Structure 1
């Protein structure tokens, strides 16, 4: 059936969704959810192994902890399918609220979960279940936040608005690591392992309440509201995405690989390696990471501004090329024995992560039409995590025992090359109309 209704433009924004409110809601939700995710990542590098997998050597404990870390990345594509379905069928706002609740409840429950010494094998089993819940929640979070920002953006500023959910990871990581750093300075090792590590998980409940308050005050995005009015929704968004839009979904996922590899190798793996092999204390390495992540936060608005001005592809191709070269710097910088060299490596990797990550807030939504945009963008974002992040710390731990840090740096370079080739295969999306149906 053909409709004569005038297509909406990106300026048809409900009065309730002011630019400041959209920016705040898209930013605060991803900041809270990534805080939850990074709290677990930091705990996995420091304490999850001894508490939940006490049997075996320290290496076996670390590998087990990294396996639980990867479980959430396997759950994230399922979360993107589940929340994407409802996001494309019911709306962006309600789906974002549900994903935030699931993530927050899972994280808080990890904070009260007894260890192996108390309940035996039930401890790691329940940990894996809650970690799966974290992955489901985060799988639906990013796509909705990116759509909230980009579908409310004025013309020519989609990457700038799409930057706000991309800033969430920097702030979430800084909050998580800063809290762990404070605990490491205030508590001794026995106190930290006994109960101190649980505090960041429990604080998630407070943060989620704040996030819910902000998001419940939003109105539905204008692009989706107009699509509903024109009855353009599809019954099974996932089926349509897989059958009609599989190519942009696959290329978008591969373009994301570099972001994940840069981040999780330079944080989770490097933190574990720095404490166990390079002889740094928890607090000193966490301090270096807190400093380095500031460069990720600085790179995010710079890259967003550049991608609005010059296009998504040129910025991403430059970032991927530099990331390929950065892999070769890992071994010489981390093994030099200098804290300055280690901090330089972390700062460079996280700067490049922010530089390649920022344009994705606009690029991935621009790859899909309105009726499958939540599903498609979320699927691309989270499928990239399986390749670039789910097993990255685990494989890096294996690679370093086989060939040293040079092999781990090679992993980063290969991941960046994969993304560079994917971006080359994509068309420029800067001028696409988000109100289009096909």
Structure 2
């Protein structure tokens, strides 16, 4: 049946709208401007980079700024950092809630509306942190406001899922699924490297007083600007003809969470645990080492942050390698091998941490390399559990749960346990994540596109 410009194809009974009238009109306008797979890949990387940049700006400030600015009343620096890490964890609790709310917005008002609102909330929460007065100025209200803005970040990130990664995966040739699955993951180390370089520059070139007064605020304002650029880049792809065609085939359609749970409940559970080795390690090579170095290390923080940038670049290389390896041996085997390597690293890591500055540097660089091999295929392990009609919502919600279980509390738990009971607990945490992945892979017999 022909559909006139500016109208939406009628849906069958029980179906939900996949786009608003404005999005349909935008696709009509862009019909003569095809979007290539490379443009989709760039949009995916840019979108993920902006999200991770926001989150890492907060994570780095959780070590460098908030213990002194928000928790000066704490009895010692360790306690203040633990308080800061507790607020860091709030975003991961809010993220699944955001997915539920923004899925409803997506169904009723379209993906473009959802994405615009989500990134506005994310950017606003981030920039408001940059204006936040300290505890000495407004007292306990500073803690409540920081917690509120952090919850806003997590809530918004639950709605920032645009489906571009799923579109990229569905267009992947059968023999190159691992390569296409790793592309979105590049945004994480790139976002971390940019955040670390920016913070590292101010830490190295400002006095402590100037940094704590105004220098730390600048990265939060930069995060807002990056969000604006990323929003327009992603909206350009969301209103593309290719995306609209996928929507009309009901391949990237938002579904009710209760329908998702009733159809794919087992897949969500397995999907949340398959990438746990990667997610458990994620903050142990990014946020935790900076906290450990600031508390117990001897090298300058600015110099150490440059080491973390080098580590992030190693992560980029091994993420790319994970795509090549997964296409050769299969993604399930790739994830299993990476989990075993992380399990082995769990015995080496504590020894590196306890061996001084050189050992901590090696922990970060080697750790990033190991992380990339696993993290590069983590998204593929989630998305391909679902039938096409459920993949859009299922991928987002399952990923939220995996981040909550595997990464959300990692800096808080590991710093507390290692500071009070020894660095062995760093390895035990990593080992637990690796074992969870191996068990989940055992129950997940195959990682490949589900049948429709």
1:257 aligns with 2:296: no
1:275 aligns with 2:294: yes
Tell whether the 8 Å contact from 2:280 to 2:410 is kept in structure 1 after alignment: yes
Number of aligned residue pairs: 423
Change (3 A) 1:93 1:391: same
1:380 aligns with 2:398: yes
TM superposition shift of 1:360: 2.4
Aligned to 1:191: 210
Moved more, 265-274 or 148-157: 148-157
Moved more, 343-352 or 29-38: 343-352
1:140 aligns with 2:159: yes
1:153-203, CA deviations, whole angstroms, 9 ceiling, x for partnerless residues? 344333323322210011100000010111111101111111111110011
Moved more, 235-244 or 418-427: 235-244
Choose the corresponding residue for 1:419, options 400, 420, 437.
Answer: 437
1:56-91, CA deviations, whole angstroms, 9 ceiling, x for partnerless residues? 222221111001100001111112223344456765
1:335 aligns with 2:320: no
Give the Cα separation in 2 of the matches to 1:391 and 1:73: 8
Give the Cα separation in 2 of the matches to 1:26 and 1:98: 18
1:2-60, CA deviations, whole angstroms, 9 ceiling, x for partnerless residues? 9xxxxxxxxxxx86221121011111011011000000000001111211122122222
Give the Cα separation in 2 of the matches to 1:88 and 1:368: 19
Give the Cα separation in 2 of the matches to 1:331 and 1:231: 48
Change (3 A) 1:54 1:92: same
Aligned to 1:8: none
1:121 aligns with 2:140: yes
Choose the corresponding residue for 2:48, options 2, 8, 30.
Answer: 30
Moved more, 359-368 or 78-87: 78-87
Choose the corresponding residue for 1:66, options 73, 85, 94.
Answer: 85
Aligned to 2:7: none
Choose the corresponding residue for 1:351, options 366, 369, 383.
Answer: 369
TM superposition shift of 1:142: 4.8
Where in structure 2 are there 5+ consecutive unaligned residues? 1-11, 14-30
Give the Cα separation in 2 of the matches to 1:232 and 1:214: 22
Where in structure 1 are there 5+ consecutive unaligned residues? 3-13
1:170 aligns with 2:189: yes
Give the alignment's TM-score, normalised by structure 1. 0.89
Change (3 A) 1:104 1:158: farther
Give the Cα separation in 2 of the matches to 1:132 and 1:196: 24
Give the Cα separation in 1 of the matches to 2:204 and 2:252: 53
- Partner of 2:87, secondary structure, is helix
Between the two structures, name the one with larger relative contact order (CA 8 Å, sep ≥ 6): 1
Give the Cα separation in 1 of the matches to 2:272 and 2:166: 17
Choose the corresponding residue for 1:99, options 98, 118, 121.
Answer: 118
Give the Cα separation in 2 of the matches to 1:396 and 1:67: 12
Tell whether the 8 Å contact from 1:88 to 1:371 is kept in structure 2 after alignment: no
Moved more, 396-405 or 196-205: 396-405
TM superposition shift of 1:313: 0.3
Give the Cα separation in 1 of the matches to 2:216 and 2:164: 29
1:18 aligns with 2:32: no
Choose the corresponding residue for 1:161, options 157, 167, 180.
Answer: 180
TM superposition shift of 1:124: 1.0
Give the Cα separation in 2 of the matches to 1:366 and 1:268: 29
Aligned to 1:10: none
Aligned to 2:330: 311
- Partner of 1:368, secondary structure, is coil
Give the Cα separation in 1 of the matches to 2:242 and 2:261: 22
